[in-house]
Amino acid sequence: MSVDEICLTLPADDAFHSVAHLVLGGLAVRLDLTFEHLEDLELALDTLLERPSAGEEVTVRVAVANGELRTIVGPFTSLRAEYEQDGDSKDLNLHRILSTICDAVEIEDRDGGQWAQLTKRIDTAKEGVS
């Protein structure tokens, strides 16, 4: 089993979000991901990057293995509280967006902040190639 992984640490400034998109696009092309998977990943990432960071940098780690795309993003200040809050059913709150896009969402405390781990099952053309 091989694991493809990218780790990117950026300043927690909106101006650098496009760098994350560029890297994700390159990963999607390399792994032959569908456009829909790339759009989902970018939407989930943008939704998280809009939240207050717990530091001056934010790290995005994307790993692909065994038909899953796992993305870990952080650190954030109050991500768990926002994720767990109940919103109006018409609200596009953090929980509603991430749970619609991802197969699993976990928020964990580490390194002085809260980190989101997003898991999405995917099919890539490369999985069938030996």
Q: Which tens digit of pLDDT belongs to each residue from 16-57?
A: 988 988 988 888 888 788 888 889 889 999 999 988 888 899
**Exposure string (b/e) for 103-120, b if CB count within 10 Å is 16 or more?**
eebebeeeeebbbbbbbb
Label residue 89 by pLDDT band (50, 70, 90). low
Question: Which domains does the chain show, CATH number per domain?
Answer: 4-128 (3.30.565.10)
pLDDT in tens, 55-84: 899 999 998 888 888 999 999 998 898 888
Alpha carbon 84 to its chain's center? 18
Residue with tokens 């994307």: 62
Q: Is 1 helix (H, G, I), strand (E, B) or coil?
A: coil
pTM: 0.83
Q: Residue 107: which of 81, 69, 68 has the closest Cα?
A: 81
